[in-house]
Amino acid sequence: MEELIQKVVELIRQAKRVVVFTGAGVSTESGIPDFRSPGGVWQKYNPEDFYYQKFISSEESREKYWQMSREFYEPLKNALPNAGHKAVVELEKMGKLDCVITQNIDDLHQRAGNSPERVIELHGTAISVSCLACRKKYPREEIQSWLLRGVRVPQCDVCGGILKPDTVSFGQSMPPRETEESFHRARNCDLFIVIGSSLVVQPAASIPLEARNSGAKLVIINRDPTYHDSYADVVIHGSAGEIMSKILERLQVT
Ligand code: NAD
């Protein structure tokens, strides 16, 4: 492990443009469960119920969705950035970070201190909600208060339209600007570091390979093996917070 950490330190020292790519695993140490691990969201809810088409066509699906969302939002709202997020902020302060591409919807990279313009949210954000008809935007916090008051399926207070968190659901198309920008950044970086992602959700999972195929070094830091481990220059299996802290500690020793 120590040797692998040292290898990553050397790669960061040599790099000029580092892209960090994060998934749910970078936030589990902040108390937000990931989806696939034991105790994760998919052990409690059936992902089939959360397809976008079902959401827009069935009141019953919307009710199930908001029930899940009401529960998931509480740990998300109370979460604080952990050592993994803070290490990424340090990379930015050192002038190494090109951008963070995140599949997360929890706003923790921004709350940790990364510049918002350097954070690309591939799957949207859970901190706001929009009306699918008139596009009125609401803070998620406001909608949570409606849910806690007993509203089961919130509706737009202007036009009565369907409200949906500004996250990308299964079956919904990816945001074109963020997707294009992510592939572009991947092609132009010299070091791509994956932190806490199983790399199964497409097309996000193909972004690390785009970087690798364009000549960047690839590092994967994840608790469990991922599908792309065999393509990486360095793979470290372990806790994102602990490993990133060690990497930063060594980087800061000149
Ligand atoms: P995932 O659930 O598929 O995989 C998470 C990976 O993180 C797993 O392989 C696991 O081994 C690893 N992991 C868990 N805790 C870790 C830790 N402390 N240190 C290192 N690795 C750890 O997550 P995913 O690939 O990001 O995809 C799931 C989708 O669900 C994403 O698209 C994301 O939008 C969404 N999601 C977001 C959040 C969030 O915003 N925090 C939480 C859950 C799910």
pLDDT tens digits along 13-22: 999 999 999 9
Nearest-atom index, ligand 1, CA of 22: 26
Q: What is the pLDDT of residues 22-31, one digit of tens each?
A: 999 999 999 9
Residue 2 CA to ligand 1 center (angstroms) comes to: 24
For tokens 């409606």, name the residue: 146
Nearest-atom index, ligand 1, CA of 226: 9
Q: Is 123 marked active-site?
A: yes
Can you give the residue ranges of every domain in the chain?
Answer: 1-32+81-123+173-254, 33-78+126-167
- Report how far residue 40's alpha carbon sits from residue 25's, in angstroms, rounded to the nearest whole number: 11
- Report how far residue 24's alpha carbon sits from residue 201's, in angstroms, rounded to the nearest whole number: 11
> Which class in CATH covers the domain with range 1-32+81-123+173-254?
alpha beta
Query: Terminal CA-to-CA distance of the chain, rounded, Å?
Result: 21
Structure tokens at 103: 């599949």
Please report the pLDDT score of residue 42 as a whole number.
Answer: 66
* Residues within a 6 A CB radius of ligand 1: 23-25, 27-29, 32, 34-37, 103-106, 123, 196-198, 200-201, 222-224, 239-240
Closest CA to 109 of 24, 11, 185, 37: 24
Q: What is the pLDDT of residues 65-120, one digit of tens each?
A: 999 899 889 989 999 999 999 999 999 999 999 999 999 999 999 999 999 999 99
Please report the pLDDT score of residue 224 as a whole number.
Answer: 95
Please report the pLDDT score of residue 159 as a whole number.
Answer: 98
Residue 185 CA to ligand 1 center (angstroms) comes to: 22
For tokens 């132009």, name the residue: 188
Among the ranges 62-66, 109-113, 169-173, which has the highest mean pLDDT value?
109-113
Residue 61 CA to ligand 1 center (angstroms) comes to: 24
Question: Is 211's pLDDT higher than 90?
Answer: yes
Active-site choice (85, 123, 228, 237): 123
- Report how far residue 148's alpha carbon sits from residue 150's, in angstroms, rounded to the nearest whole number: 5
Nearest-atom index, ligand 1, CA of 167: 34
Please report the pLDDT score of residue 241 as a whole number.
Answer: 97
Residue 104 CA to ligand 1 center (angstroms) comes to: 8
Long-range CB pairs of 237-241, under 8 A, 24+ apart, other chains included: 238/1, 239/29, 240/25, 240/26, 240/29, 240/82, 240/84, 240/195, 240/196, 241/29, 241/82, 241/83, 241/84
> Which class in CATH covers the domain with range 33-78+126-167?
alpha beta
